Structure 1
Amino acid sequence: MPRLHGKISHISLYKFCFDLFRKLGVGEDDAKVIASHLVTANLRGVDSHGAFVRIPHYVAAVREGSINLKPRVELVKDSPSMALLDGDRGFGLVIAMKATDLAISRAKKYGTCIVGVKNISHVGMLAYYTLKMVQDKVVGLAATNSAACVVPWGGSKPVLGTNPFSIGFPVDGDLSIILDMATSVVAAGKIVVYASKGERMPEGWALDKFGKTTTDPQAYLDGGMLLPFGGYKGYGLCLSVDILAGILTGSPNSLGVPGGWAAQGGFIAQAVDVSFLRPYEEYRSEMIELIRLIKSCPPAEGFKEVLLPGEIESRTYRIRLEEGIPVYEEPWSRLSEVGRDLGVPMPELL
């Protein structure tokens, strides 16, 4: 069983992340973006994309030269409602945020904007970008493709990535709807979390390298494969994201994306300003009514309530903001090694 090492405040974790990336050679503004992104993932309970899981991989990628600390980000193509960026192998968390900000600003002026990005590293938790978009009262889409680890429906060899996407619909604060999902049954990073905790994963998530169903996370990590969610329908979405974020942006498809936990294919962000279609307050009123209708739906047997996409993460965020972020021994130990190596002391636990 996993051993809980303690809890850490989001403020302490942010400072540690910021200090560590500064020591690594990341610029001040970029280090703030990276630290904010990682801590937000942990606060929302998306620990697979948080500091303890991702930092060791990001640091290793920088040292290997696969992440460029001083990229020359280029606006390759530009029009009022579409743009393409070349990230020059920079930190995906930073460059994808630049693309998102550009999409928002253009959407505010022209109604909608799509920004594609190629040549980047891992972009992290996609909800980070759609959360930013709903804060600016625009409907947001973010999608990315990743290295092949998912079998196509009916196949026995990995051809597609987990290829996640996120859609955000603005309302008010916690009422905003944030869908963030892999098109595989589960994000690969979540299996890492299960492995680090010493837990079995649910059946139906993955196959081992011999194509047999397994609940052992290590069997997946040792050359196994993920399954698409929802059978052929999930496979269709998985393929669509590979085309949308990969081929459309001039990035590799999943089979061409390098392996590794810091690698990524392409990224795409779209923002739609609601007020170009109808008055925002009318939209907001109808969204609140729709949410009321969904939340008032009687729960089925075995359920306590009907939840909205992103509602669990929003609740987890509030709890961890107040009570702290859980820390487990193995991830803490791995991060401690990185901190010692860079001369950054580990933060105190609560």
Structure 2
Amino acid sequence: MIYEDVYWVDFDTLEHFMADVFVKLGVPEEDAKICANVLITSDKRGIDSHGVGRLKPIYVDRIRAGIQSPFTKFEIVRESPTTAVVDGHNGMGHVVGYKAMNLAIEKAKKYGMGMVAVRNSTHYGIAGYYALMAIDAGMIGITGTNARPSIAPTFGIEPMLGTNPLTFGMPTDEEFPFVLDCATSVSQRGKIEVYARAGKEIPKGWVIGQDGNTRTDTIQILEDLKKGTAALVPLGGIGEETAGYKGYGYATVVEILSAALQGGAFLKMLSGFDENGNRIPYNLGHFFIAIDIEAFTDLESFKKTTGEILRALRNSKKAPGAERIYTAGEKEYLAWLERKDKGAPLNNALRKQLTQLRDELELSQYVFPWE
């Protein structure tokens, strides 16, 4: 674990606390519960970059800055039996994502497949949450989102593309589903924030500087990403030798599907600043696809074949010194088994954030274990 000096806090306490924080900021109670559930699901799955650690710096601060609305207007502006275009009016991205994937699932139940494209939304948390929604409905789930410029194109140094996850979820006959939920960059801003809270440098190869070389100075990198003088490296790495063009290409696919179908914003339009440097909404785009497996084959047969594929991969010959081979979604399941009775690990910086929020919003019913 990257953190030192942590307190483990149970998930129920954190989820209720986050929901109460959102309500205090004007988010309707039912919407606040959705937002908190998306965030705590990230912590439960061991994805500390997108859980409670983002409560204040992403959602609280943006609502307070007036660039994100606590009230979510979910407006369907175009619709067919299998598709829809939604305007989120810069409300809570978690609520927009939850309703959009539910809409895609409803269409898939009737017609075999459903796709919903969203414009004018905000950060929607872990993309895997929405893939899991489809899995719970016995379907394949696919989602992606664009984001503020962070990734430099291959042979470039300027942040142009967001971290743009392309996420797939599929049910299996095992205790955990197949969920591939990752950015199209080598790493994402949220993971750099985790290193910053821990006071540690990031590994080489994650970020490129203006000179074209890798950087590791975590705190300054976060500032320079905002200024556009540092950029994340696409999956595959710097240049072509390790196939960085593949990550660059997939990030571009997500950008197109998150903007072109729904008439949304893209690339530098998502910076969060106007031409005078004033903060403005990010106007993010998402897409959600649900595929009803029963439209192709029976669900149990699909689960069995998928499970056999995954087990064969994990049981294949290991590299010298390697303890085991994993498949996507397995580490998140193992994180849940480790954390379900312990909760989420909070380091000193995050504990201070939550204590400050509690006091500012007069949520005196919460007494944290570190106090």
- Check whether TM > 0.5: yes
Higher helix residue share: 1
User: Does 1:127 pair with 2:133?
Assistant: no
CA–CA distance in 1 between the matches of 2:369 and 2:170?
36
User: Does 1:204 pair with 2:223?
Assistant: no
> Post-superposition shift, 1:334?
1.8
> Post-superposition shift, 1:179?
0.1
User: Does 1:100 pair with 2:120?
Assistant: no
Q: Which residue of 2 aligns with 1:250?
A: 263
C-alpha spacing 1:212/1:259, structure 2 compared with 1 (3 Å): farther
Q: Which residue of 1 aligns with 2:360?
A: 341
Residues 122 and 264, structure 1, Cα contact 8 Å, conserved in 2 = no
User: Does 1:301 pair with 2:314?
Assistant: no
The amino acid of 1:259's aligned partner reads G
Q: Deviations over 1:5-44 (max 9, x none)?
A: 4110001111111111111111111011011111111111
Residues 73 and 85, structure 1, Cα contact 8 Å, conserved in 2 = yes
Matches for 1:254-293 after TM superposition, within 5 Å = 254-259=267-272, 263=282, 265-293=284-312
Q: Which residue of 2 aligns with 1:323?
A: 342
CA–CA distance in 2 between the matches of 1:182 and 1:147?
13
Matching residue within 247, 251, 264 for 1:234: 247
Q: Deviations over 1:222-270 (max 9, x none)?
A: 2121110111111110111111112222111121103399846200000
Matches for 1:70-109 after TM superposition, within 5 Å = 70-109=71-110
The amino acid of 2:266's aligned partner reads N
Residues 2 and 199, structure 1, Cα contact 8 Å, conserved in 2 = no
SS of the aligned residue for 2:317 comes to: coil
TM-score, length of structure 2 as denominator length: 0.90
Task: State the number of aligned residues.
Answer: 350
CA–CA distance in 2 between the matches of 1:210 and 1:298?
41
The amino acid of 1:147's aligned partner reads R
CA–CA distance in 1 between the matches of 2:143 and 2:299?
22
> Post-superposition shift, 1:173?
6.0
Q: Which residue of 2 aligns with 1:314?
A: 333
Structure 2: 5+ residue runs without aligned partners? Answer: 225-229, 237-243, 274-278
CA–CA distance in 1 between the matches of 2:302 and 2:361?
50
Matches for 1:33-112 after TM superposition, within 5 Å = 33-112=34-113
Q: Deviations over 1:272-301 (max 9, x none)?
A: 001101122221221122122112112112
SS of the aligned residue for 1:322 comes to: coil
Of 338-347 and 228-237, more deviation after overlay is shown by 338-347
CA–CA distance in 1 between the matches of 2:178 and 2:29?
32
CA–CA distance in 2 between the matches of 1:338 and 1:209?
37
Q: Deviations over 1:177-232 (max 9, x none)?
A: 00001001111111001001011211100024554311221232121211101111
Residues 252 and 265, structure 1, Cα contact 8 Å, conserved in 2 = yes
Q: Which residue of 2 aligns with 1:187?
A: 188
Of 181-190 and 210-219, more deviation after overlay is shown by 210-219
The amino acid of 1:298's aligned partner reads K
Residues 143 and 168, structure 2, Cα contact 8 Å, conserved in 1 = yes
SS of the aligned residue for 2:246 comes to: helix
Aligned residues: CA RMSD: 1.9
Higher relative CO (CA 8 A, sep ≥ 6), structure 1 or 2?
1
The amino acid of 1:324's aligned partner reads G
The amino acid of 1:144's aligned partner reads T
CA–CA distance in 1 between the matches of 2:95 and 2:293?
26
CA–CA distance in 1 between the matches of 2:102 and 2:302?
23
> Post-superposition shift, 1:347?
4.4
Matches for 1:23-34 after TM superposition, within 5 Å = 23-34=24-35
Q: Deviations over 1:59-113 (max 9, x none)?
A: 1111221111223321101111100111111100111110011111110111001
Q: Deviations over 1:296-345 (max 9, x none)?
A: 11211232111011211111012111122111001111222222111124
Identity of aligned residues (%): 34
Q: Which residue of 2 aligns with 1:178?
A: 179
Of 184-193 and 58-67, more deviation after overlay is shown by 58-67
Q: Deviations over 1:34-60 (max 9, x none)?
A: 111111111111111111233332111
Structure 1: 5+ residue runs without aligned partners? Answer: none
TM-score, length of structure 1 as denominator length: 0.95
> Post-superposition shift, 1:3?
3.8
SS of the aligned residue for 1:114 comes to: strand
C-alpha spacing 1:201/1:217, structure 2 compared with 1 (3 Å): same
Of 64-73 and 234-243, more deviation after overlay is shown by 64-73
